[in-house]
Amino acid sequence: MAKRSRMRRRVVREVGLNVSGAVIVGLLIFPVYWALCVALQNNPNFFIQTPDLFPIHLIWGNFRSALQNEGGDIVTSLIIALSVVVIGLVVAVPTAYGLKRFRVRYASTVVVAMLISQMVPAISLSISFYSLFRRLDLLNGYVGLILADSTYAVPLMVVLIRAYLVAIPIELFDSARVDGCGELRCLWSVVVPMAVPAIVTASLFGFLGAWGDFVFGLTLNSGSSVQPVTLGLYKYVGTYSTAWGPIMATVILAAIPAGIVISVAQKWVRGGLRAGALQG
C-alpha cells in the first residue's frame, strides 16, 4: 500500500512538472508564434482588426519586403558575428591554455578582471570607442564593430574555456611533452580535441552577443550603410511604424541564423555540461 502511494505521488509530481514545463515553454514561444502569424497575414489595419491566431490564407509578400529592406543588414550581422567568433577563438584558446598550463602569477586576478569586464555597461565603452575609432578612422565600417564586439566576447570565451581546461589533469600535458610535443602541438593535438564542447559553447556565447548587439551599432555606425540587423530593424520600425507584417517578417528572418547556431551547438553544450559534471 505504501509503495503504491509513493508511486502515485511520483506520477503526480512528474505530470505536474511536465505540465508546468509545457506551460512555461508555451509562454516563451508564443511571442515568436504571434510574430510569425502577423508576418504571414496581409493586415494593414493592425490596431483595428486583430490578426488571426491560426491564419489560413498565408501571405509571403511580407518576407520578400523584409529581405529587400533588411537582407543586407542580416548579412552584415552575420559577417560581424562570425568574425568575432574567429577572433575570440584565436585569442581565447591559447590564453586559456596558458592560464591553465603555466604558473602565471596573479592568474586568478586576471580571471576575476575578465569577469568584471562583463559588468561594464556597453554604453560606457561605446563613448570611449567612438572617440578612439574616430581618430583611427574606424567608424562606419566592419572593423570598428568587430573590434568593439570582441571586447565583450574574448574575456567571456577565455573564462569559459579555462574553466573546462581546469578539469583536465596536468599529467596529460606532461605525457604529451614527454612524447615530444611542443606547446603549440600540445595545444592543437591534445587540448583542442578535448575542449571541443567548451570551445563550441564559448563560440555560441560570442556569436549571440555580437548578433544581438545594438549599442555599438547605434554609436559607431550611425548614418552608415554598414549596419547590423538590430540597428536596421530599429530604423525600419521608425520609418514603417504601421507596416507590422514586414516588421514581424524581419524579426523572424533575424532570428533564423541565431536559431540555427543554437540548434547545431546544442549537443556540444550538453556534452560539455555532462563532461564537466563527470570530471567534477
Give the angle 16-19-21 at the CA atoms, nearest 5°: 105
Distances (CA, A) of 88 to 94, 155, 202: 10, 8, 9
**CB-based contact 213:227 (threshold 8 Å):** no
Look up residue 5 and give its three cell numbers.
502511494
Q: What is the pLDDT of residue 78?
A: 92
d(C-alpha 276, C-alpha 168), whole Å:
10
Residue 159 exposed, middle or buried by CB count within 10 Å (0-12, 13-18, 19+): buried
Residues 223-267 pLDDT 10s: 667 888 888 888 877 766 667 788 888 888 888 888 888 888 777
* 26, 28, 29, 33 alpha-carbon torsion, rounded to 10°: 110
Q: What is the pLDDT of residue 280?
A: 40
Distances (CA, A) of 180 to 94, 171, 184, 223: 19, 14, 11, 55
Neighbours of 237 (CB within 10 A): 14
**CB-based contact 74:167 (threshold 8 Å):** no
> In which residue ranges of the chain is pLDDT below 70?
1-3, 43-50, 104, 179, 222-224, 239-242, 269-280
In three-state secondary structure terms, 158 is helix
Kind plus residue range of the DSSP H or E element containing 82: helix 61-101
Q: What is the pLDDT of residue 277?
A: 41
**What is residue 206's DSSP assignment?**
H
Query: How far does CA 221 lie from the centroid of its chain?
Result: 21
* Residues near 199 by beta carbon (within 8 Å), at least 6 away in sequence: 89, 93, 161, 192
Q: What is the pLDDT of residue 279?
A: 43
Q: What is the pLDDT of residue 47?
A: 58
Of 234, 236, 228, 237, the residue nearest 258 (C-alpha): 228
Residue 247: φ, ψ to 5°: -65, -45
pTM over 0.75: yes
Query: DSSP string of 53-78?
Result: SS-SS---HHHHHHHHHHHHHHHHHH
